Amino acid sequence: MTDDVIEPSSSEESSQDTGLLDNVNVEPAAEADSTKTDISHLDKPEDDGPLERPDWWPENFWKKDDAEPDLEAIAKSWTDLRKQISQGKHKAPADGNYDLAAFGGTPDTDPVKSHVVSWAKEYGVSQVALDALVSKVVEMNANSSQTATVNLEQERKSLGPNADARIKSVVQWGTSLVHKGVWGKDDFEEFKVMGGTAKGISALEKIRAAYEGRVPTESAPADGAPSKTELYAMVGDPKYKTDPAYRAKVEKMFQSSFGS
């Protein structure tokens, strides 16, 4: 039997180095169309609606208005967490001595401060949890104090331009009742509670007037109004006797500023 022999072509004969893939040809790649624009896989098609937060993504790290994750916030949270862990604030101090800086200027004798620290030690509260709790309570107390200050200013305004004089007069009256033995210490404390508002002051003035008659109060002139000295000077002006319109004007000023 004779073996078939594949005769090489003339081109194969001329080639000194024959390889297995010499006769494998590929079609040249089609040239890219310069009129087409690459679309990033990150770009959303125009017909896509706003993104919805996946159930597994924390809600506090999601921008509702922009409908996208808040990567900056979650990165900051992670950094803060790593810092807390490195400082050991993620657990209760081993020696039981908490950092009390979050209490601010609250004195050590404050009973609430002592109770909170004792509670933290008893239940092994972490330093970071204690800081979060105390900071919030301190902030709430500060806001309450500010609100109370605003309310006191409003009550004072409700008493009118002679508020200080009215308050002083009522306090002197209440103190005199203690000195006379009519009231005891507890009575005076209740008196202070009742007089804590503009309506309370008015009620006490009525009670006093029922026993003593009308009690005149040295009043303070309203802003821009003449003082009592200036009004008396206007009375001394010759026009007060000769000019009825001027006299009526001065009398109206007296009544408006001092009620008499």
pLDDT by residue for the chain (260 residues), tens only, comes to 555 555 555 444 444 554 545 554 555 555 655 555 555 544 555 556 678 888 888 888 788 888 888 888 777 766 766 666 666 556 777 777 888 888 887 888 888 888 888 888 888 888 888 888 888 887 777 766 666 555 888 888 888 888 888 888 888 888 888 888 888 888 889 888 888 888 888 888 888 888 777 665 555 455 556 766 777 778 888 888 888 888 888 887 776 665 54
Query: What pLDDT is recorded for position 20?
Result: 43
Distance from C-alpha of 163 to C-alpha of 155, rounded to nearest angstrom = 9
> Whole-model pTM?
0.34
- pLDDT (0 to 100) of residue 102: 84
- Per the CB < 8 A criterion, the answer to whether 107 and 101 are in contact is no
pLDDT at 95: 77
Phi, psi of 86 (to 5 degrees): -65, -30
Buried b (16+ CB within 10 A) or exposed e, 174-184: beeeeeeeebe
pLDDT of residue 53: 86
Closest residue by Cα to residue 131 from 168, 177, 84:
84
Separation between Cα atoms, residue 145 and residue 152, nearest integer Å: 11
- Strands 68-69 and 62-63 come out as antiparallel
Please give the pLDDT value at position 41: 47
217, 162 Cβ separation under 8 angstroms: yes
In order of 168, 176, 202, 208, 240, the CA distances from 163 in angstroms are 9, 20, 11, 17, 30
Alpha helical stretches, state H, 68-184:
71-87, 111-123, 127-158, 163-179
